[in-house]
Structure 1
Amino acid sequence: MISVPLPLFLTGLSAIFGALVLTRAWLPGAAKTFLALLAALIMVETLLVALRFAYEVEGVLVIQRLLPFWIGPLLYLGYMALSDRAARLQPASLLHLGAAAVLTAIVAALPPIRVALDAMIGASYAIYALLLLRLWRGGPDRLSQLGLAHVGFMRRMMLMGAGLLGLTLVMDTLIALDFARNDGANVGRLLSFASLLLIAMLAAATVISLRRSTSPPPSGAARSEDAALTERAEAYLEESRLFVDPQLSLTRLARRLGVTDRALSEAINRSRDKNVSQFINGFRVAEAARLLRETGDAVGAVGEAAGFLTRSNFYTEFNRVTGQSPGAYRKAQRT
């Protein structure tokens, strides 16, 4: 038995994390919702773990074994809402949360089979850790729904999230093996160790979230070089109209300008406070606005002509830049 209910410390830290999420005005609403739900879920789960193993309340087992299926989906969807895939968030939510609901229903309906349950939970943790790492490897430009000042912080949080899922997978595997070989004789020590590691991770996340960036501003010469390169990119896009190609990428644009991906990305970030996706989409939104004013083309056709790959991405970006839907913009211009 755990002498000190360390999981209760995790409950408290999760509450602090949830409060921080809800008070971050720069977080988009969808991301805030998913991450706050995640914090609430972890609060409940750690409280149930404390009741079961520290205070031997076995009645909570039924609920405790259902909640882990929701951790990975909520964490991944929270970061997807910050990315350039935010336009696909609704179908993705139906897919990932629907899968969690199906697994929850299966486990709730069937007699508990520990090996199968542990395998299903472990697979969920592994899949979502890999999905987060895949999103993280896309680089800062993937988090196109965030202001530049917050991208670095949220990328660090993304890595911590993937690490949390990986750590939980390892500890759940060790606990399952202990139940299989020793009838759970070492579960208390394993939970204490896991709780200490998770407390350290959540505490670090809390400290990082409260710290202000202390990186020095670029020098005057560096600012001048950034502005010059960004202006070259703007002039090239306006002249070539390359932005109407929905497959345009950072690498392709950088090659046309004869610079590295990193040099172009950093110049745009520092001189315009935007990532490359937002920078290019600004040209597309301007083109779409012109077409909405000057033509009678259908809204979907306008988005396609302006270079947007999907209608949902067009609506999301147009609303982000102008504060209006394309249809409302056209109506306002005509009246």
Structure 2
Amino acid sequence: MIIAAVALAQSPRIPLTARVCLCGFLVALAVSGILLGMRLSLGIDWVVHFQPLVAVVIPVLAYLGFFSLTRENAALPTAMIIRTILLIVIAYSAILIWWPISVDLVVVSVTIFYLSRMALLLRLQDDDFMHVPPHALKLLRTALIITLALLSLMIMTDGLVMVVGMVAGNGPVLRLLSGISGLSVAFVFVTMLIGLPMALRGAVGRHSEAVSGSPEMVTAADHELLARLDELMSGQQLYRDNNLTVARLGRRLGVPAREVTHATNRVAGSNFSRFVNGYRIRHAQQLLRETDLPVTEIMLESGFSSKSSFNTEFRRLTGQTPSQYRKT
């Protein structure tokens, strides 16, 4: 887990928020395993007071990491951050005040809640993961499924410990923990056997891209589809619809959504979201130059619904804020 965290921290392609959360998730898993080993193998019983405090943040960090990949600017909403902090404070208070009655119940409840939230991410379309290139989407979904399986194993473990502890006392609980810790090690080992080759293939693919300058062969069909898409976007200004999706555009063009995504990635060199935002920012630039409309109204007219996303994309493409652009 620590090796995976170090490798993830060094990946510049993943946004900072996602890296921080997912590295924190992996480190928390490693710390949890170390504490369990200290307790079971070395007989250091006082670490039992720290185990649930670490266990509570594991599903929280996992969810926030994957969720941030669906955000246009990769930043987490302020309201979500506040709610998450409050939830952790409440969980910690319940654990510390009503120890040991509430420990397993709190950990299981928090894990189930975030497990259900993460399961909903699997229903998202590929293009909803705005910061993940097409060649890495399969790896992302595999990582998400593995994380869900690991959290399910944690729920099963804590549930069994809670039941056995109430029925038979600490002796059987420790034996059960020893057995389940072996199961967890086997799970991680099998995951590494599956995940490591996939990660290496991804690394080889990225290296090939860097050498060749082209991730995939661009076809005439890609150019034709992008030309049709450009005509549709420029002529009908569909980008001004802030609910525009790749699926809707695919239906208008009579092709699967995945073909639209692949064409924008291969020909334009950007994902669908950034491709559309290019039209929106160019439209905003025109309005800033030729009208006296307020910046907020221009943002809405251009198809953005979030001021932070508008400002982030505008700065990314022009190197200036909208206000600075209007002044110059």
Aligned residue runs from structure 1 range 1-335, under 5 A: 14-84=1-71, 86=74, 88-113=76-101, 116-183=102-169, 184=173, 185-202=175-192, 204-211=194-201, 212=203, 223-331=219-327, 334=328
Query: Per the alignment, do residues 18 and 87 of structure 1 end up closer, same or farther by CA in structure 2, a change over 3 Å counting?
Result: closer
Q: C-alpha distance in 2, partners of 1:213/1:246?
A: 37
Task: Give the conservation status (yes or no) of the 8 Å contact 1:171–1:194.
Answer: no
Task: Give the conservation status (yes or no) of the 8 Å contact 2:119–2:148.
Answer: yes
Moved more, 235-244 or 176-185: 176-185
Task: Give the conservation status (yes or no) of the 8 Å contact 2:111–2:155.
Answer: yes
Structure 2 length normalisation: TM-score? 0.86
Query: Per the alignment, do residues 28 and 172 of structure 1 end up closer, same or farther by CA in structure 2, a change over 3 Å counting?
Result: same
Query: Per the alignment, do residues 219 and 307 of structure 1 end up closer, same or farther by CA in structure 2, a change over 3 Å counting?
Result: closer
Tell me the residue number matched to 2:212: none
Moved more, 161-170 or 224-233: 161-170
| Amino acid of the structure 2 residue aligned with 1:244 | R
Q: Deviation string for 1:198-245 (max 9, x for gaps)? A: 33325544443333355997666xx11112112211111100001101
**Structure 1 segments (4+ residues) deviating >6 Å:** none
Tell me the residue number matched to 2:211: none
| Amino acid of the structure 1 residue aligned with 2:251 | R
Identity %: 25
Superposed CA RMSD in Å reads 2.5
Structure showing greater relative contact order (alpha-carbon pairs closer than 8 Å, 6 or more residues apart): 1
Structure 1 length normalisation: TM-score? 0.84
What is the deviation of 1:60? 0.8
| Amino acid of the structure 2 residue aligned with 1:33 | V
Query: Per the alignment, do residues 320 and 264 of structure 1 end up closer, same or farther by CA in structure 2, a change over 3 Å counting?
Result: same
What is the deviation of 1:145? 2.6
What is the deviation of 1:47? 1.1
| Amino acid of the structure 2 residue aligned with 1:282 | G
What is the deviation of 1:292? 2.7
Provide structure 2 residue ranges, at least 5 long, that are not aligned to the other structure: 209-214
> Which SS does the other structure have where 1:308 is aligned?
coil
Q: Deviation string for 1:157-181 (max 9, x for gaps)? A: 2222222212222222233333333
Moved more, 318-327 or 49-58: 318-327
Task: Give the conservation status (yes or no) of the 8 Å contact 2:94–2:106.
Answer: no
Query: Per the alignment, do residues 175 and 198 of structure 1 end up closer, same or farther by CA in structure 2, a change over 3 Å counting?
Result: farther
Task: Give the conservation status (yes or no) of the 8 Å contact 1:70–1:97.
Answer: no
Q: C-alpha distance in 2, partners of 1:323/1:158?
A: 35
Query: Per the alignment, do residues 327 and 77 of structure 1 end up closer, same or farther by CA in structure 2, a change over 3 Å counting?
Result: farther
